[in-house]
């Protein structure tokens, strides 16, 4: 299996994670012009499951170090399997709420609030479990990101006059999604051996843990997404029949692509975690908030028509996010 052997390469992998996690939601914006986010989400989940399997069977099974993918799956104990699976169940609930928030409030709002909260919470939880990196720099980075989250929420409220009910719903969904999102990574990390080249018996390598995590997402989607299909936060309900009658190859492909992009990010974060530490690899990857906000502001024009004071707040949000992410990078040195 492929293993990262230097901190600098690990940081590059985490930056790729950040770009992937911040960009996959563009596929949602493209697909939901034609059909609901619940139907898009099924293709997204299928993309995650299939690509995690491909990843394990290819680079997760090549090279002289570590355990090959299939062998690693067969030796994993029940505790490790359940931890990775539960991580997928928790992530899926959080991500469905995040996708609903994107549908209501847009990428430039849902990501900075939801994933920003998840970043702060996840960095703290992962650092407590595995105290790797400079605690002061991590703390400063987290504080700056909290400030950026507050600026984003305020700027969104400024452009949402007359839509207070929808505004509140979008922000609340983002907050709940963020709190749940901050928990999932710790479960996945707990199923992975700290030594990738000579993994402990019973624990898994990142490739196997990623696949079991994806299985948890897929199976739980029959519960979480079915509920949201029947009882949507806004708009009309949809059915499984709609998935087969309303979709075409182009729409399905957009959803699969979204899942593949996200899975590349998750796999790179896990692969980088041995050298960077779980707190730093997760925290840096969740810098995706800045990337998603960039797409939302400059490509999808979600803040078009904002006054000068709101535009200044948006600029400050980007500044605080960037400085916060830099602090997290240097915390691992």
**Cβ–Cβ < 8 Å for 142, 123:** yes
Contact 231, 221 (CB under 8 A): no
Task: Pinpoint the alpha helices (H) of the chain.
Answer: 7-23, 25-31, 37-57, 69-75, 78-105, 107-110, 116-129, 135-158, 164-190, 206-230, 240-246, 249-276, 278-285, 288-294, 308-331
Q: Out of 51-65, 122-136, 279-293, which region has the weakest mean confidence (pLDDT)?
A: 279-293
pLDDT tens profile 244-284: 999 999 999 999 999 999 999 999 999 999 998 887 887 77
Q: How far apart are CA 225 and CA 212, in angstroms?
A: 19
pLDDT tens digit sequence for 197-256: 999 999 999 999 999 999 999 999 999 999 999 999 888 899 999 999 999 999 999 999
Positive or negative, the Cα torsion across 272, 274, 275, 277?
positive
Q: Is the pLDDT of residue 167 over 70?
A: no
3-state secondary structure of 323: helix
**What residue spans define the domains of the chain?**
7-331
Cα distance between residue 229 and residue 273, in whole Å: 35
Pairwise CA distance, residues 101 & 25, whole Å: 11
When pLDDT is averaged across residues 37-42 and rounded to a whole number, the result is 94
Note the pLDDT tens digit of each residue in 56-75.
999 999 988 899 999 999 99
CA-based nearest residue to 277, from 160, 132, 170, 180: 132
CA distances from 172 to 40, 165, 178 (A): 22, 11, 10
């Amino acid at each position: 299996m492929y293993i990262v052997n230097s901190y600098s390469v690990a940081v590059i992998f985490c930056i790729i994670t950040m770009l992937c996690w911040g960009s996959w939601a563009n596929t949602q914006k493209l697909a939901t012009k034609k059909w609901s986010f619940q139907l898009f989400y099924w293709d997204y989940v299928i993309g995650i499951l299939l690509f995690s399997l491909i990843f394990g069977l290819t680079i997760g099974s090549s090279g002289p170090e570590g355990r090959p993918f299939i062998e690693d799956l067969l030796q994993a104990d029940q505790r490790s399997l359940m931890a990775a699976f539960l991580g997928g169940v928790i992530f899926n609930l959080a991500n469905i709420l995040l996708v609903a928030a994107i549908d209501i409030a847009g990428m430039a709002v849902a990501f900075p609030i939801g994933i920003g909260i998840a970043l702060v919470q996840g960095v703290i939880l992962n650092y407590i479990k595995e105290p790797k990196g400079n605690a002061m720099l991590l703390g400063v980075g987290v504080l700056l990101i909290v400030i950026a989250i507050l600026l984003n929420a305020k700027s969104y409220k400024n452009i949402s006059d007359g839509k207070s009910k929808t505004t509140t719903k979008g922000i609340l969904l983002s907050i709940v999604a963020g709190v749940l999102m901050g928990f999932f990574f710790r479960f996945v990390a707990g199923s992975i051996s700290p030594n990738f080249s000579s993994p402990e018996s019973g624990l898994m390598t990142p490739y196997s843990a990623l696949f079991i995590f994806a299985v948890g997402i897929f199976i739980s989607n029959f519960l979480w997404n079915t509920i949201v299909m029947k009882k949507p936060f806004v708009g009309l309900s949809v059915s499984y029949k709609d998935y087969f009658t309303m979709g075409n190859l182009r729409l399905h492909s957009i959803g699969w692509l979204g899942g593949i992009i996200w899975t590349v990010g998750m796999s790179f974060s896990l692969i980088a975690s041995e050298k960077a530490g779980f707190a730093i690899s997760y925290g840096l990857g969740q810098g995706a908030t800045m990337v998603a906000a960039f797409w939302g502001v400059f490509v999808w024009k979600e803040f078009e028509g904002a006054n000068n004071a709101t535009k200044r707040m948006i600029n400050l949000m980007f500044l605080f996010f960037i400085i916060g992410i830099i602090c997290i990078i240097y915390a691992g040195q």
